[in-house]
Chains A and B, each alone.
Chain A
């Protein structure tokens, strides 16, 4: 059987950057037709540019990657390993996972993280809510209901990441927040009138004087669609199910608006981030009234670096702007609702039940 010679590519179907390979995709950021190799190159180089221009890392640093098994954190781990080797950042990378205790969801995603641990040859540390707080999310939902589950989980996870990093002796945590998340946050802060968060909503690295743990987002300027494409072409192993308890409320409306805008203006996500970086609150002019003149200024302790000391939680000792931190407040509310006796020690949560019901067929 005679093998036909390979078909010649047309000039119009070539990659718009190298003009020498077949284009296999349309890039979401600027709708250019690219081949695989050029896409890898621009994707990785952009993240490298973001890291170097913002000076996220320094040589010898130990960095924890917040790994959930999803596409963002999986691609982040892969990219950081690649760039660390290619550009000699000199980093020690560690995977840090949080086990919220949602049966049918988190145990599957943690299995993915363990496979990533083998593939990328990184250490893996798993922190569970049960160990830290003596509550699993299944139990929290049982007490507080599904509607407010994201509030509890968000507060607990944020503290759990800090605690996990401190336990490993790491003071830098990177998360996989991408450009879509950033744009969504900017819009949400505008729509909710959250003035306090508005200025800092686009910062790539957040750090406070009292907390030794800093966080950064190397994917700040990376589109979510490009992360999906990169994971697809690199055949990365990731877990893609959404959280079982996550309700879509006000954030869903902002996301819908963002999708509509993106269809008519591909660069709108980057435009929103650029705008977010320029949103500045005007300084308030305080009126001087008679009763203020007699008021003594409260003495505030000033640290040597100029920052003002904030409170620490009297219960767990972590950073808090109040006497008791938010996590302890939420846990205290939960404790009062906890049943004194466990009716069934083998009871499954709502997540497992939902999955079982979905699997049923008549």
Chain B
């Protein structure tokens, strides 16, 4: 039994309003279109029911409304989240004579080059945002190069004994994409990208004066993150990354909320279909490989949950999310902070790894073996490139295993960089000619590719 079942019979009435004909069955109940949309929107309101998001007449006059940053990537989940929030503000606007409880800042991290998206995200925004008039929504696009702080670039190397060494690198011109291509494999790149996204969004919220960041993560996505973090050796971060929580960034408190956390992705997808949002969805033009070796950890876990849904185990998703919510921080003392991802370290991963992974050879016994060793050493002298002794840095277990495998290539990454956000220019008013200009520019970019 799947999470969403279409109803083709016309004699079944909606179980909620008892008036309209039911079109689908979700959560063991028959729903018509309006009631299903209301069900999904109700989930978001439940998550954002605190006082700061409600209409406050004093704050409205003073212009000190709560600002909410919507992390928008253009996929179905973030589209649905934006639609739900937009509808809420529209309703507040109509009911309370032009007032609203909070403001929305839509922030997109530019992934077009990275994921080879089929369309620019800012190309869809003018038409999309016009659905929510007269609510005014601010839109920003941030370049991923914002993370590249040339002064903090270091070449990071994992030694045989799992200690980490960092050497400052004198590079004046390189893009974020160049750094990411030096990763050992796709999963490492995905892991590091997640870290970068979190930091860029926090910086954006800080600069825009937002007190809240909302993500469009569904229950399926959160369960996926729980398993993926476990697989990456980042189990101690699960409680932090998937909970509604408060982060302190540069002395400012920022709430992080996942309003769609109680909804399966299939349910969100159905909402997008019923709300006519599918035409705006941005997806990668690259066809995903079916060979396991070419996938990333998140892809494999996603496929796993998809299979569970089709085989009748869809309740596993909510089970995983609930147990993730029960987790807390470790009772051990915080020993250190990782230089790459900023996570608290409770147990020295270097000693842990050294105990269970021995890299010592067996002793040499025969003359023939000595000859081979001398042959190896002589060949080593010809091609030896002297490793410059660098400064020791502290990495968490997840980063050590992510970067392990960096042997031949040079891996370069910023260490505790100062983030200077680079915004792309985006037009605010939507009219036909500007839309056409935008599309023409897109065509030009396609020609250049």
Interface residues, chain A, CB within 8 Å of chain B? 9, 11, 14-15, 17-21, 29-30, 35, 37-38, 40-42, 45-46, 49-50, 53, 186-187, 189-195, 198, 221, 250, 253, 256-257, 260-261, 263-265, 267-268, 270-272, 274-283
Write the chain B residue with the least CB distance to A278: B236
Q: A46-B357, A253-B307, A275-B236 are in contact. Are A260 and B231 (CB under 8 A)?
A: no
B358 touches A42 (CB 8 A): yes
Q: A38-B362, A50-B355, A187-B227 are in contact. Are A19 and B372 (CB under 8 A)?
A: yes
- Residues on B with C-beta less than 8 A from A19 are 361, 372-373, 376-377
Most buried by B among A49, A256, A278: A278
Q: Within 8 Å of chain A (Cβ to Cβ): is B132? A: no
- Residues on B with C-beta less than 8 A from A190 are 226-227, 230, 320, 323-324
- Residues on B with C-beta less than 8 A from A270 are 233, 356, 401
- Residues on B with C-beta less than 8 A from A191 are 227, 316, 319-320
Complex: how many Å from CA A37 to CA B360?
Answer: 11
B373 touches A280 (CB 8 A): no
Residue-wise interface mask of B (284-306) relative to A, using a CB-CB cutoff of 8 A (1 in contact, 0 not)? 00000000110111001101100
- Residues on A with C-beta less than 8 A from B238 are 275, 279
Q: Within 8 Å of chain A (Cβ to Cβ): is B27? A: no
A280 touches B331 (CB 8 A): yes
18 contacts between A and B (CB under 8 A): A17-B359, A20-B372, A41-B358, A50-B355, A190-B324, A191-B316, A253-B307, A253-B313, A264-B293, A264-B297, A265-B187, A267-B404, A271-B230, A271-B398, A275-B238, A278-B347, A280-B331, A282-B328
Q: Within 8 Å of chain A (Cβ to Cβ): is B364? A: yes
A263 touches B293 (CB 8 A): yes
A53 touches B360 (CB 8 A): no
A281 touches B359 (CB 8 A): no
A264 touches B362 (CB 8 A): no
Beyond A41-B358, A271-B231, 7 additional contacts (C-beta under 8 Å) are: A29-B357, A186-B230, A190-B323, A260-B292, A264-B292, A281-B327, A282-B326
* CB-contact partner of B304 in A41, A193, A257, under 8 A: A257
* CB-contact partner of A17 in B320, B355, B356, B361, under 8 A: B361
Residue-wise interface mask of B (333-358) relative to A, using a CB-CB cutoff of 8 A (1 in contact, 0 not)? 00000000000001101001001111
Q: How far is the CB of B163 from chain A (nearest CB, A)?
A: 16
- Residues on A with C-beta less than 8 A from B283 are none
- Residues on B with C-beta less than 8 A from A37 are 362
- Residues on B with C-beta less than 8 A from A260 are 292, 295, 300, 303-304
Q: How far is the CB of B237 from chain A (nearest CB, A)?
A: 9
Q: Within 8 Å of chain A (Cβ to Cβ): is B25? A: no
B358 touches A264 (CB 8 A): no
Complex: how many Å from CA A143 to CA B313?
Answer: 28
Complex: how many Å from CA A271 to CA B355?
Answer: 14
Q: Within 8 Å of chain A (Cβ to Cβ): is B208? A: no
Interface residues, chain B, CB within 8 Å of chain A? 185-187, 226-227, 229-236, 238-239, 292-293, 295-297, 300-301, 303-304, 307-308, 313, 316, 319-320, 322-324, 326-331, 346-347, 349, 352, 355-362, 364, 369-370, 372-373, 375-377, 379, 397-398, 401, 404
- Residues on B with C-beta less than 8 A from A193 are 319-320, 322-323
B358 touches A46 (CB 8 A): yes
Complex: how many Å from CA A260 to CA B298?
Answer: 11
Complex: how many Å from CA A279 to CA B227?
Answer: 12
- Residues on B with C-beta less than 8 A from A11 are 375-376, 379
- Residues on A with C-beta less than 8 A from B227 are 187, 190-191
- Residues on A with C-beta less than 8 A from B316 are 191-192
A195 touches B323 (CB 8 A): yes
A30 touches B357 (CB 8 A): yes
Most buried by A among B226, B308, B313, B401: B401
B235 touches A274 (CB 8 A): yes
- Residues on A with C-beta less than 8 A from B303 are 260
Complex: how many Å from CA A261 to CA B329?
Answer: 26
Write the chain A residue with the least CB distance to B228: A261
Most buried by B among A9, A40, A280: A280
- Residues on B with C-beta less than 8 A from A195 are 323, 326
Query: Which secondary structure characterizes the binding site on chain A?
Result: helix
Complex: how many Å from CA A272 to CA B401?
Answer: 12
- Residues on A with C-beta less than 8 A from B377 are 19
B230 touches A276 (CB 8 A): yes
B358 touches A45 (CB 8 A): yes
Q: A270-B356, A274-B233, A275-B234 are in contact. Are A20 and B300 (CB under 8 A)?
A: no
Q: How far is the CB of A137 from chain B (nearest CB, A)?
A: 28
Q: How far is the CB of B261 from chain A (nearest CB, A)?
A: 16
Write the chain A residue with the least CB distance to B359: A17
Q: How far is the CB of A266 from chain B (nearest CB, A)?
A: 9
Most buried by A among B238, B329, B369, B398: B369
Complex: how many Å from CA A232 to CA B234?
Answer: 34
B229 touches A275 (CB 8 A): yes
- Residues on B with C-beta less than 8 A from A278 are 235-236, 330, 346-347
Q: How far is the CB of A63 from chain B (nearest CB, A)?
A: 21
B328 touches A283 (CB 8 A): yes
B372 touches A14 (CB 8 A): yes
Complex: how many Å from CA A14 to CA B374?
Answer: 12
B300 touches A49 (CB 8 A): no
Complex: how many Å from CA A9 to CA B239?
Answer: 52
Complex: how many Å from CA A9 to CA B368?
Answer: 11
A18 touches B361 (CB 8 A): yes
Complex: how many Å from CA A35 to CA B292?
Answer: 29
- Residues on B with C-beta less than 8 A from A30 are 357, 404
Q: How far is the CB of B370 from chain A (nearest CB, A)?
A: 7
Write the chain B residue with the least CB distance to A6: B368
Complex: how many Å from CA A12 to CA B233?
Answer: 32
- Residues on B with C-beta less than 8 A from A281 are 326-328
Complex: how many Å from CA A276 to CA B319?
Answer: 17
Complex: how many Å from CA A275 to CA B316?
Answer: 20
B327 touches A253 (CB 8 A): no
Complex: how many Å from CA A280 to CA B329?
Answer: 6
Q: How far is the CB of B116 from chain A (nearest CB, A)?
A: 21
Complex: how many Å from CA A20 to CA B235?
Answer: 40
* CB-contact partner of B360 in A21, A42, A221, under 8 A: A42
- Residues on B with C-beta less than 8 A from A41 are 358, 360-362
B373 touches A18 (CB 8 A): yes
A271 touches B401 (CB 8 A): yes
Write the chain A residue with the least CB distance to B243: A282
Most buried by A among B295, B296, B327: B327
Q: A264-B296, A271-B397 are in contact. Are A282 and B230 (CB under 8 A)?
A: no
B349 touches A274 (CB 8 A): yes
B239 touches A282 (CB 8 A): yes
Most buried by A among B226, B293, B300, B324: B300
Complex: how many Å from CA A100 to CA B399?
Answer: 46
- Residues on B with C-beta less than 8 A from A20 are 364, 369-370, 372-373, 376
Complex: how many Å from CA A40 to CA B373?
Answer: 19
Complex: how many Å from CA A72 to CA B178?
Answer: 46
Write the chain A residue with the least CB distance to B303: A260
